[in-house]
Amino acid sequence: RIKLEIKAWKGLQHPNILPFIGSVTLKWITYLVSPWMENGDALSYVRSHPDVDHVSLIAQIAEGLKYLHTHDPIVVHGDLKANNVFISDAGEARIGDFGLSQKLMEDASRIIGTSFYAAGTFRWQAPELLIDEQARRSIFSDIFAFGRTIVELFTQDVPFSNLSDGLLLISTLEGKLPLRPAQEEVIRRGLDDRMWRIVERCSELKPAARLTASAAVELLQHYQAPEPAAEIFERTPAEA
């Protein structure tokens, strides 16, 4: 797995991707080296910085995801969640932990590595990964996890923490998005009607119907506008 993580991570350069410095082996254990992130992971950061701009952090995560999904070859992260996003000294979000990531070849049917199957954390996983244990993670499952990460950061808890694992599993498999968190502080942080629409589009049952990372970036860039253009919400992967 270490070799696969290095292969996926090495060479990625973007302000919202945690830089890879190198690796070192000590007593037969290989360690991957990256810059120290004093602010820790994104979930810990928003909990300890209540006045942080949550929308800005989410937009930065979307930028990092867009970079991965438009990279040549495409990089599927495979385990996106707030604990795998780190915050720099400047307060910028950087996606890290590429242990479940893979690079896709130009022929999307070919994948570097052999362990590119359903893994990661249940509450962030797309329904297609839960239905088929041999299902491969994809840019579509990354987008589903991004929607869950939005909920996670605004609620400052695991996605839909009010639901048991069993209830959330059933609703996910049925393509039903749980009720929107309606606590006053959650809305104040930015989980309003328009942000919830983004979550809804990331959570579509059919993978190809979900927002692309590029469309998510565009929507978040226009977030302060009176109303984002409807065609952005309808953007499909082929149009990204």
Backbone angles phi, psi at 75, to 5 degrees: -115, 120
- For residue 163, how many other CB atoms are within 10 A of its CB? 17
User: Among 41, 79, 97, 142, which one carries the catalytic annotation?
Assistant: 97
Q: Who's near 195: CB < 8 A, 6+ residues apart?
A: 55, 150, 154, 223
Q: Who's near 65: CB < 8 A, 6+ residues apart?
A: 77, 80, 95, 142, 143, 146, 213, 216
**192 assigned to active site:** no
d(CA 33, CA 21): 5
| DSSP helix/strand/coil, 82 | helix
Identify the DSSP state of 160.
Answer: T
In DSSP terms, 94 is beta-bridged to 86
Identify the DSSP state of 211.
Answer: P
Positions annotated as catalytic residues are 97
